[in-house]
Amino acid sequence: MRAVRRVLALAGAWSATACAGIAQRSGAGAGEKLYIVNQAGASITVVDQGRLAIDTVLDLRTLGFSANAKPHHVAVEENGASWYVSLIGDGRVLKFDRANRLLAQVKMETPGLLSLDPVHDSLYVGRSMTAVNPPKSLGVIHRSAFTLVDEQEIVMPRPHAVAASRDGRFVHAASLAENRIASVETATGRVTLSVIPGIPRSLVTFALSPDGQTMVSAGELSNSLLVFDLRQPPPLQPVREIALDGKPWEPRFTSDGKHVLVTLLTKNAIADVDMASGTVVRTLSGRLAQPYSMLLRRDGRYAFVVSQNTGAAASGQSGHEMHGMGAHENMTDGWLTIFDLRTGVVLRTLMLGAGPTGMGAAGAR
């Protein structure tokens, strides 16, 4: 309970970066970047969202990190001034500026998913699903000073999914091992545990609606999308559970909040769920192989989808036909598929490194 109290003592007011992020922009400005980590390759691919082309590839080994650094996830400030990366293998969370200069680092055991608090100067850090016995706590980092304030005990095994509420009142974390969600009240540090009855779900990631009133999570084991009403205080219970197929992994809301796109890991597809009816209204496919993470560009025009390509052939596309394949001889490297959401067709495919996982971009959903 003491961790969040200390965060608020340090950063009770809006941070400079959070204030700058209030000015919402439409579209993807010239030079806005998308950062994708290659977990098995100890590198980060930086994509120019305007040109839809690779800008550069950062080799973490040249910055003093190991070949087993295992970069896992990325979070980016709303104004793009800073971005953050978790390293599972090296036990670090890194802070970069927009010029890709390493500014600072924090030591932390098996860091996983990252979530920025939109109100307070806090970065919340979950735990990696690959860790044998990760701590039952969330890391809380003071973003501007980039120091680990403390670790928030939540007494729940394998906390993975993590999301801060839009109003900054709560940070929610879900267990991969149990049907439980821990909701931490940031003003007090009080933890409320929610138990979801029924079969195991294994909630991998969270996504919040643009208005902050709804949260969804994909149940990997239950093949379902769980919907939570955040207008009600914790404990949380799903107000709806929508059946999906193919190991749903990463959900993302569209800009109007009316639809949720979900990657289907074993179907090599994306489900487009209408939230009003709770039905899949279309399925996006093509050039996908184990679609893992996904972001929608801030203007809602494109969906960026990372395929891990862990041994399966891409759906409807040979790897040799993909953009930039000539520079890659390793056919198990992953790739980024860019969908035009107006037409549902693949616009472009960019090759990535080995084992790509998470990504982040300023203003992306």
Three-class SS of 308-357: CCCCCCCCCCCHHHCECHHHCCCCCEEEEEEEECCCCEEEEEEEEEECEE
Cβ atoms 319, 311 nearer than 8 A: no
Pick from 4-8, 110-114, 259-263: least confident: 4-8
Nearest residue to 161 (alpha-carbon basis) of 124, 221, 115, 206: 206
pLDDT tens digits for range 45-90: 999 999 999 999 999 999 999 999 999 999 999 999 999 999 999 9
Give the DSSP letter of residue 61: G
279: which 2 tokens?
């039905």
Is the backbone of residue 171 left (phi > 0), alpha (psi -120 to 50) or beta?
beta
Residue 15 has pLDDT above 50, yes or no: no
Phi, psi of 45 (to 5 degrees): -90, 130
184 residue type, one letter:
V
State the pLDDT at residue 322: 40
339: which 2 tokens?
């969908």
* Burial class for 239, CB neighbours closer than 10 Å (0-12, 13-18, 19+): exposed
Place of tokens 């900054």: 168
Q: Please say whether the dihedral angle defined by the alpha carbons of residues 143, 145, 146 and 149, taken in this order, is positive or negative.
A: negative
CA contacts within 13 A on the Cβ side of 12: 6
- Max Cα separation, the chain? 54
Residue 319 has pLDDT above 70, yes or no: no
d(CA 351, CA 337): 9
d(CA 44, CA 72): 10
State the pLDDT at residue 16: 36
Phi, psi of 69 (to 5 degrees): -60, -35
Cβ atoms 115, 124 nearer than 8 A: yes
* Burial class for 132, CB neighbours closer than 10 Å (0-12, 13-18, 19+): exposed
Give the DSSP letter of residue 245: -
Q: Per-residue pLDDT averaged across 2-12, rounded?
A: 40
d(CA 227, CA 250): 14
Tell me the pLDDT band of 320, cut-offs 50, 70 and 90. Answer: very low
d(CA 56, CA 46): 5
Q: Per-residue pLDDT averaged across 119-139, rounded?
A: 83
325: which 2 tokens?
């394949």
pLDDT tens digits for range 184-193: 999 999 999 9
Average of per-residue pLDDT values in the chain: 87
State the pLDDT at residue 324: 38
Strands 43-48 and 248-253: unpaired
pLDDT tens digits for range 327-361: 334 557 999 999 999 999 999 999 999 999 999 99
Q: Which pTM does this prediction carry?
A: 0.88
Residue 242 has pLDDT above 90, yes or no: yes
Phi, psi of 319 (to 5 degrees): -60, -35
